[in-house]
Amino acid sequence: MKRPAHHAAADPAGARKLLLPPTPSGGPAGADLHIHTRYSDGTYTPEQLVAAAVGHRLGALAVTDHDTVEGCTPTAAACAAAGLGFVPGVELTAEEGNRELHILGYGFDPAHPRLLERMTLFQNVRQQRIHEMVARLNRLHVPLQVDAVFALANCRAPGRPHVARALVAAGLCGSLDEAFERFLKKHRPAWVPKFKISVAEALALLHTAGGLAVLAHPGLSRVDDLIPALVEAGLDGLECFHVKHNAAQTRHYLQLAARLDLLVSGGSDCHGLSKGQPLLGTVLLPWEHFQQFQARLHQATPASGPGCSG
C-alpha cells in the first residue's frame, strides 16, 4: 500500500527549517522521537533535554508535548547549538469508536495558523479540566488551590501530573502514585475525562500543517483491529519502539508496518524526572529507520488553503 505524500503549492518562508535535521557524524546511537518537556507534563527544559541527549549519543530528537508546540523553537535552537537533529512534534489525544488513541505529529510547520488555532482550543480545555479537578478535590475537603497547580505547571498545556505534583508539594499526598490512586486515576473521585478529537480530525490537522501522523504506542492502546482503517484514513506510521513495548510487541509492529507500508517510529516517552528516573536513552529509534523517516519529512509539505501562509 503506497502512502500518499501531502503536497502544497507553496512553503511558508523559513517555517520548515526546523524539520530538516542533519545526519550527524560519529555514529549516533539512534533517535528519540517521543519526548515531553516542561511545556507539557515533562520536567526537562530544552537545554536540559539536549544536554541529556548528547550524553546518550542521540543523533536526533523530537519534542512531542501534549497539545502544544511551544517547546519546538527553543529545543530546535538548543539542538542546533549542540549539533543534534531536531524534528518538531506534538501528541494529540483522539478517539475512534469510543476508544482512545494517541496520535504523534511530526515535521509540521510549528507556526501554521490552523495548527495554532486548534492548539489554543486544546489548551483552553486542558486549563478548564484543571479547574474542574481541583473543584472536585475541594468538594472532598482536600484544600488544594488551583493557582498552586497553574504556578507549578507554568505552561499552557497542564495535565493531571501537575495536579498530582501540586498535591505532593502541598503535603496533601505522600507521592505521585498516591495522588493518582486516591484521586486522579480514571473513575477516582477527582478524575475528569479528557477532551478528545476524532482520529480523522487529528490526521487532517497534522497533514494540513505539512506533518506526518504516527500512532503512538499501539501495544498500549490495543487497537490493532483499527489500524488498517487508520491507514486508509491517512495514517503515516507506527511507533514500533516504545518503553512499554516488549520484544515480541516490537517485532509484531515492525512486521505490521512493513506489511502496510508504514513508517517506523519510536522513542522513550520520556517525561524527565516527573516519573522517577528519566527514560531518555532507554529506547531509541535505530538510525536506519530515522533516515527513512527523515526522507519522508522532506516530502511532506503544508497544505494550501484558507488560513495558510505562503
pLDDT by residue (tens digit) across 247-292? 999 999 999 999 999 999 999 999 988 666 678 988 999 999 999 9
pLDDT at 4 over 70: no
Query: Which CATH fold would you assign to the domain 119-184?
Result: DNA polymerase; domain 1 (1.10.150)
pTM of the shown model: 0.87
CB 63, CB 73: distance < 8 Å: no
Number of H helices, E strands in the chain: 11, 8
Give the pLDDT confidence score for residue 27 in this predicted structure.
65
Stretch 167-189: mean pLDDT, rounded? 96
Give the pLDDT confidence score for residue 113 in this predicted structure.
96
Which grid cell sits at 271?
517525561
* Sign of the dihedral defined by the CA atoms of residues 157, 161, 164, 168, in that order: negative
pLDDT at 202 over 80: yes
Give the pLDDT confidence score for residue 307 in this predicted structure.
31
Least trusted range by pLDDT, from 10-24, 105-119, 165-179, 292-306: 10-24
Residue type, 237: G
- CATH 1.10.150 segments of the chain: 119-184
Can you say how many angstroms the Cα of residue 27 is from the centroid of all Cα atoms in its chain? 26
| Average pLDDT across the chain, whole number | 88
- CATH 3.20.20.140 segments of the chain: 28-110+196-299
Instruction: Using a pLDDT cut of 70, give the percent of the chain over it.
Output: 86
Which grid cell sits at 99?
476508544
Which CATH entry fits the domain spanning 28-110+196-299: 3.20.20.140, 2.80.10.50, 3.30.70.120, 1.10.490.20? 3.20.20.140
pLDDT at 179 over 90: yes
Stretch 79-84: mean pLDDT, rounded? 96
Give the pLDDT confidence score for residue 71 in this predicted structure.
95
Model confidence at 29, pLDDT cuts 50, 70, 90, reads confident
Runs of H (alpha helix) within the chain: 46-55, 72-82, 113-139, 146-153, 160-169, 176-179, 199-208, 218-221, 227-233, 247-259, 287-299
Instruction: Using a pLDDT cut of 90, give the percent of the chain over it.
Output: 81
